């Protein structure tokens, strides 16, 4: 999947004028790219459109218009765009109650490395997590992680041929698995070369 360049971005003024329409479009797109794994983990799968929206929002919020600063934003977000042989996702550990969240995050160290995908009967592929920086410390993990699932060519072919896709977490304190809905599987398969 092609990475973003400055030419792919709207000016602050143009984005402001078209923001409501673009937001509606992206939110609809994102609905077909998220999967809950059990009650407290959700994976939000990223692609070029979701990252373009994220960059545009950062530029808007921070009033960034200098070319060097725009280049820095692109450098930060382009690694989250799939490369054609992988899926990339933002993993959110979601606990509405603050005390419950604090307790859970203290118990779920390493959960990001225990998250996997499974294509048909081809076995599990565990995530490469937080490649930009570690987000788990000795006494707690972060509520947000960035994951990359690298697929072999056989898995890519199987998905394109309609194979099933499961997502799961195999952690001592959080173990759940879910079959990915067909609409999400189709959206993710479109990320593959």
- 139 pLDDT band, cuts 50/70/90, is confident
Please check whether residue 136 is in contact with residue 147, taking contact to mean a CB–CB distance below 8 angstroms: no
Percent residues over pLDDT 70 in the chain:
100
Count of CB atoms situated within 10 Å of the CB of 39: 10
Buried b or exposed e, range 105-117, using 16+ CB within 10 angstroms: beebbebbbbbbb
pLDDT score at 136: 79
Percent residues over pLDDT 90 in the chain:
93
- Of 29 and 138, the structure prediction assigns the larger pLDDT to 29
pLDDT score at 135: 84
Query: What are the start and end residues of each CATH 2.60.40 domain in the chain?
Result: 35-46+84-193
pLDDT score at 131: 85
CA distances from 152 to 54, 80, 84, 159, 193 (A): 29, 19, 11, 11, 12
pLDDT in tens, 3-43: 999 999 999 999 999 999 999 999 999 999 999 999 999 99
> What average pLDDT does the segment 88-105 reach?
96
Count of CB atoms situated within 10 Å of the CB of 185: 20
pLDDT score at 70: 96
How confident is the prediction for the chain on average, in pLDDT? 95
pLDDT score at 134: 77
pLDDT in tens, 175-187: 999 999 999 999 9
User: Which of 65-74, 130-139, 149-158 has the least mean pLDDT?
Assistant: 130-139
Topology classification of domain 35-46+84-193: Immunoglobulin-like (2.60.40)
pLDDT in tens, 144-166: 999 999 999 999 999 999 999 99
- Of 141 and 136, the structure prediction assigns the larger pLDDT to 141
pTM listed for this prediction: 0.92
């Amino acid at each position: 999947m092609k990475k973003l360049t400055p030419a792919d971005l709207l000016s602050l003024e143009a984005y402001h004028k078209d923001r409501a329409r673009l937001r509606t479009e992206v939110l609809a797109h994102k609905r077909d790219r998220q999967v809950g794994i059990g009650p407290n983990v959700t994976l939000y799968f990223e692609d070029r459109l979701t990252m373009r929206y994220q960059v545009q929002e950062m530029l808007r919020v921070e009033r960034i218009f200098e070319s060097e600063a725009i280049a820095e934003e692109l450098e930060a977000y382009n690694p989250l765009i799939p490369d054609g042989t992988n899926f990339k996702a933002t993993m959110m550990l979601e606990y509405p109650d603050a005390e419950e969240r604090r307790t859970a995050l203290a118990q779920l160290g390493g959960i990001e490395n225990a998250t996997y995908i499974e294509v048909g009967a081809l076995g599990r592929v565990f995530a490469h997590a937080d490649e930009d920086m570690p987000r788990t410390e000795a006494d707690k993990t972060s509520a947000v992680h960035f994951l990359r699932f690298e697929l072999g060519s056989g898995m890519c072919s199987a998905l394109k041929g309609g194979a099933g896709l499961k997502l799961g977490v195999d952690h001592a304190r959080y173990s759940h698995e879910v079959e990915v809905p067909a609409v999400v599987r189709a959206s993710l398969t479109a990320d593959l070369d």
